[in-house]
Amino acid sequence: MTPELRTERLEFLPYRPEHEDVFVELLRDEEVCRWMGQDLVPEPQIREVFRAILDDIYPQGRFDVWGLWLAGRYVGHAEVKPTGNVEGHELVTALAPGYWGQGLGGEAVRGLLRHAAEHLGLSEAYGMVGAGNTASLAMCRRLGFRHLRDVVGDDGAVTKLLIIPTALGWGDAGERTAAGSPTGALGAAGLGGAAGGEALTGATGGAGLAGATRGEDLTGATRGGGGLAGTVSGERLAGATSGDGLAGAASAGEAG
């Protein structure tokens, strides 16, 4: 069962039916989708993904998925899930644009790292960030992520596959960045449509939110399925037709 988590400012709460509209609003935001490297997804498909979280992901204990809340306001989404890109788990976060540039992206990732280490027994975690998402890449460097390799999608888009020991990045003092910095945390391959699932932020190719009616993850990454998008019966939210996660999120949020 996905546990509730807390950091200095954020609450990580498992989704409930009454959260559907705020979830849809987040994933219908053009800026969020842009930094996740995906197209806008039709609202009915996003609602299908949300129902998959409640009816499939949680009951089967596939992986952990949360809504992020700040002082009672919904501000974003987070996941820790197996990745199809490498042997291991990836972190996914996406923040609403109104909360970028406040250090919340880094704080969310640190909370996920703590959970990965203390509750899942993981010694390392992965993330995917689009090569053009300089703010998220800078945040990841500050947190201690190391670049492993580039993943090139069918459309030529490049996504950075990153790795971090879970013991890093647990400091209580959140880094701060300039207000408006368009990054976020990490995300898999993309809500929007990634074919198969790569990592944190918005990967280059997967199935993503957008098309997910069968995927395994929330996200939808480039190669292994992983995102929000397609999960009605999958393992990730995102759109993976056969993948595993919310995918695209690491880059939607703030560099923070």
pLDDT at residue 52, rounded to an integer: 98
- Burial class, 142, CB count within 10 angstroms (exposed 0-12 / middle 13-18 / buried 19+): middle
The rounded distance, in Å, linking the Cα atoms of 73 and 104 is 13
Closest listed residue to residue 207, CA positions, set 232, 172, 171, 183: 232
pLDDT at residue 108, rounded to an integer: 95
pLDDT by 10s per residue, the chain, length 256: 899 999 999 999 999 999 999 999 999 999 888 777 677 889 999 999 999 999 999 999 999 999 999 999 999 999 999 987 788 999 999 999 999 999 999 999 999 999 999 999 999 999 988 888 888 899 899 999 999 999 998 889 899 999 999 987 554 433 333 333 334 545 533 332 222 222 233 322 233 343 333 333 444 333 333 444 333 333 334 433 233 344 433 433 444 4
Copy the structure tokens of residue 190.
């993309």
Residue 190: partners with Cβ closer than 8 Å, 6 or more residues away: 36, 37, 38, 202, 203, 204, 205, 206, 208, 209, 219, 220, 221, 222, 227, 229, 238, 239, 247, 248
Q: Which amino acid is at 100?
A: W
In the block, which residue shows the tokens 């039709």?
A: 42
pTM (two decimals): 0.75
pLDDT at residue 37, rounded to an integer: 67
pLDDT at residue 39, rounded to an integer: 76
pLDDT at residue 169, rounded to an integer: 56
Cβ atoms of residues 97 and 105 within 8 Å:
no
pLDDT at residue 155, rounded to an integer: 86
pLDDT at residue 15, rounded to an integer: 98
The rounded distance, in Å, linking the Cα atoms of 214 and 200 is 20
- DSSP string of the chain? -PPPEE-SSEEEE---GGGHHHHHHHHT-HHHHHHHT-----HHHHHHHHHHIIIIIHHHT-SEEEEEEETTEEEEEEEEEE-SSSSSEEEEEEE-GGGTTSSHHHHHHHHHHHHHHHTT--SEEEEEEETT-HHHHHHHHHHT-EEEEEEE-TTS-EEEEEEEETTSS--SS-----TT----S-B-S-TTTBSS---SS--SSSBTGGG-TT-SSEE--SSS--EEBB-TTSSSSB--SS--S--S-TTBS---
